[in-house]
Chains A and B, each alone.
Chain A
Amino acid sequence: MAVIDLANPTRFLRIVDRVLPWLIAVTAILFAVGLYRALNAPDDYQQGATVKIMFLHVPAAWLGMFGWALMSVAALGTLVWRHPLADVAGKAAAPIGAAFTFICLVTGSLWGRPTWGTYWVWDARLTSMLVLLLLYLGVLALYWTAEEPGRGARAAAILSLVGAVNLPIIKFSVDWWNTLHQPASVFRLRGSTIDPSLLTPLLIMALAFTLLFVTLHLAIMRNEILRRRVRSMRLMQAQEVHA
């Protein structure tokens, strides 16, 4: 079983060291291609060049949500299977997911200025992404305040699962709240489907963002494992000094 094999942190580190340079190279190439295609994509007939923000905004939104899904799977790994690397995976996913959600909000707000005339509207999607960011920050706060890594990881795992149950409810209620207060049609500037000339670069960018996520995730996991080793070595050293 591959997942079981990965339970050994040393073996995991060896695999990561071998895979990471390739991942970085492929991510860089994909970003180069994606950004080139995105910059050369035709302007939208209504929004002009501002539509290019979409190539950063939409993949960031997808990965912001993907981050929580990853954290929930890692949370199951921590609580149910007690996989030794699951809490490292969950902890590594939180800051990346928060960062992508933040990028999504910032680019969305910059996009909103020319198209909607304001930096922030209480649009249903913006609002649910904001709540998602707040939930991410809650998980991060949990990690910051935990004195011992294991304890913090289990607490964060429970919060991730509670959040996973809650996020669809929050999404639904924010949609409901928004349609109650203001018609959603105002913000539906684009018509039905996206033209292929825009869709292809978008998909390339989405793939590039996903690989960036995976690369960062593996790198952060590696750092976290090493950090924990340093911590336990320090503790052992302190014991030796006392003895």
Chain B
Amino acid sequence: MNPLAAILLRDMRLAVRVGGGAFMGALFFLIVITMTPFAVGPDLALLARIGPAILWIGALLASLLALDRLFATDHDDGSLDLLMMGEVPLELTVAAKALAHWLTTGLPLVVVAPLLGLMLNVDMHALGWLTLTLAAGTPALTFIGLIGAALSVALRRGGLLLAVLVLPLTVPVLIFGVAAANAAIAGPTPFGPAFTILCALSLASLVLGPIAATAALRHGLE
């Protein structure tokens, strides 16, 4: 089998089988969305207005949640050393791992987003567009988070450090994700520009994330 496909399948199997990984993120997302009305009140008009923002914040936090496991478990059992010594360029290996991570943690968030949007009274016709922004934006969150995951495993620290490093870098993704979602729901600005920039951010992080993460791993674990 193609080594990259093998890594992708292995990581996805691990994520699904160990500790309910894929399910946890979506569950956390659901809980964050459930807590919001308790904080801001059950006013449906208000919830509809801030719904896209809440969904994006929830997705951002949920995608951070599992990031520290991205390299930490492989580092602990030594398989990361094997991956680093392999013939496949480490950048591609890291990208395959990140893709597997997105498929098991990011994609479930996108799948449950329409349901959670309904709970927040987001306009039914806009739910599809809102989900589309999450589908386009969550890869950027994962691939930016990849850098933080590599840095924190290189320093053998996880948890809060990762969030502190990663969250400020995701400001543009959040801005354009929420802007595109709001444009689809209420206007008056068109959906296109914000959404295209969101896609551009995702594509750029798809390239830069693995390169920076690989540099962090090489320099940190040598």
| B-binding residues in A (CB < 8 A) | 79, 131, 134-135, 137-138, 141-142, 145-147, 151-152, 154-155, 157-159, 161-163, 165-166, 169-170, 172-174, 176-177, 180
Contacts and interface: CB of A to CB of B under 8 A. Distances in A.
Contacts of A134: 164, 167-168
Given A131-B171, A134-B168, A180-B179, A155 B212 contact: no
B110 interface: no
B215 interface: yes
A23 to B, nearest CB: 33
The bracket for how many chain B residues form the interface is 20 to 34
B175 A151 contact: no
Given A142-B151, A155-B219, A147 B156 contact: yes
A158 B175 contact: no
Contact of A158 (B169, B176, B189, B216): B216
B161 interface: yes
Contacts of A169: 172, 201
Contact of A151 (B171, B172, B220): B220
A180 B201 CA distance: 19
B151 to A, nearest CB: 5
Contact of A170 (B171, B179, B189): B171
Nearest to A134: B168
Nearest to B200: A169
Nearest to B189: A180
20 contacts: A131-B171, A141-B161, A142-B151, A147-B155, A151-B154, A151-B220, A155-B155, A158-B151, A158-B212, A158-B215, A158-B216, A159-B151, A162-B212, A163-B169, A166-B172, A169-B201, A170-B169, A170-B171, A173-B175, A180-B179
Q: Which of B164, B168, B179 has the most CB of A within 10 A?
A: B168
B208 A138 contact: no
A162 B151 CA distance: 12
B157 interface: yes
Contacts, number: 80
Contacts of B220: 151, 154-155
Contacts of A151: 154-155, 219-220
Nearest to A148: B155
B147 interface: yes
User: What 4 pairs between A and B have smallest CB-CB spacing?
Assistant: A173-B172, A154-B219, A134-B168, A177-B175
Nearest to B218: A154
Given A166-B169, A173-B175, 6 more contacts: A135-B169, A141-B165, A145-B155, A158-B219, A169-B172, A177-B179
A155 B149 CA distance: 11
Interface of B: 147, 151, 154-157, 161, 164-165, 167-169, 171-172, 175-176, 179, 189, 197, 201, 208, 212, 215-216, 219-220
A154 B214 CA distance: 12
A154 B151 CA distance: 9
A152 B157 CA distance: 11
A173 B171 contact: yes
A137 B160 CA distance: 13
A79 B216 CA distance: 10
Contact of A137 (B164, B169, B216): B164
A22 to B, nearest CB: 37
Contacts of A172: 172
A162 B208 contact: yes
Contacts of B208: 162, 165
Contacts of A145: 155, 157, 161
Contacts of B161: 141-142, 145
A58 B220 CA distance: 37
Contact of B172 (A152, A170, A180): A170
A161 B219 CA distance: 14
Q: Which of A131, A134, A145, A158 has the most CB of B within 10 A?
A: A158
Given A79-B219, A158-B215, A141 B164 contact: yes
B175 A131 contact: no
Contacts of A173: 171-172, 175-176, 197
